[in-house]
Amino acid sequence: MIKYDLPDADVRLYEALFSKQESDRLYENLIKYIEWEQDQIKMFGKTIDLPRLTAWYGDPGCNYTYSGINMKPKAWNTDLQFIKDRIEKTSATSFNSCLLNYYRTGRDSMSWHQDNEKELGKNPIIGSVSFGATRPFQLKHIILDRKKTDIPLTHGSYLVMKGTTQHFWKHKIPKTAKNIQARINLTFRIIKE
């Protein structure tokens, strides 16, 4: 495990929490069996497609409000349960929901944001699992603007963000012109009542 030396943050990386064989199987299964959706957002009065596919899974009642849409979770499947068990053992915590992102090509991305929705509570723990192409996960401090870092999230890796990370740091997955394979990311979360 690597603990990053970042001010006002607690960020840890387990580079190969899933073996190559497990990761290959999970990658294929998630692409095939997750009910991927193309969400849209309104920007400047226009409706545009998000640059990725998404899905929301979790315990019943773990609703998530996102761009004004209230999303009901789909029920955990076997692969998600398997991933959840492994990371819960590693982090000694229980997650009740998961946002999945499917970056089909290098043109798919996620822009700067903090995981600070009020349903996550004050100091959320976010457990992030990646399969497929390695993409850089960029972090920047919101006040100390020279403080930046890039963490390559490889096939089978597990990244944990907790403590005050979401108060002080934004993160993103930039676009790339490189011809790369797809990538799946799962961010496990705890939705509070």
Site residues (vs Mn ion, CB under 5 A): 115
**By C-alpha distance, which of 135, 116, 148 is closest to 185?**
135
Residue whose CB is less far from Mn ion, 29 or 96? 96
Shortest CB 45 distance to ligand AKG, Å: 25
Site track for ligand AKG across 60-99, x = CB under 6 A: ---------------------------------------x
74 touches 97 (CB < 8 A)? no
Which residue from 23, 97, 128, 165 is in contact with ligand AKG, where contact means CB under 6 A? 128
Shortest CB 100 distance to ligand AKG, Å: 8
Distance CA 134, CA 79 (A): 21
| Helices and strands of the chain, counted as H and E runs | 3, 15
For the chain, the helix, strand and coil percentages under 3-state DSSP, each to the nearest 5: 20, 40, 40
Question: Which residues of this chain interact with ligand AKG, rule CB under 6 A?
Answer: 99, 101, 110, 115, 128, 137, 153, 171, 173, 185, 187
